[in-house]
Amino acid sequence: MSESSETSTLLKRPEAVIFILIATLFVVWDAYLSLLDESESTALSSRQLAQRLGTTPKILRLRKHQPNFSEWTQQLDPDGLAWEYAGGVYMPRT
């Protein structure tokens, strides 16, 4: 029996299809959780971002809604990251 016919025979078994679907779901869920952890770990408060940029939280609060906020933060950031304000935290712009 060839490999392709073994694969097609395997896919005709409902338990094999269910196993493949569950395994795929776990892989996708793990990737989602990794992305979620990564985005949460990069979110900063006003105090944290101010310290990173060498400014004050008050200056950030005053500038966060200005159109050039991301460019301004990019100039101050030691790694050259541009930041934006969203959902009560500051996130690096991607």
Q: 47-83, pLDDT tens digit by residue? A: 999 999 999 999 999 999 999 999 999 999 999 999 9
Q: Contact, 10 vs 62, CB < 8 A?
A: no
Exposure of 18 in the CB half-sphere (CA atoms within 13 A):
3
- For 92, the enclosing helix (H) or strand (E) is strand 89-92
pLDDT at 77: 95
What is the distance of C-alpha 68 from the center of its chain? Answer: 23
pLDDT at 41: 61
What is residue 54's DSSP assignment?
A: T
Q: 1-56, pLDDT tens digit by residue? A: 566 667 677 778 888 888 889 999 989 988 877 776 655 568 899 999 999 999 99
Report the range out of 55-59, 84-88, 90-94 with the highest average pLDDT.
Answer: 55-59
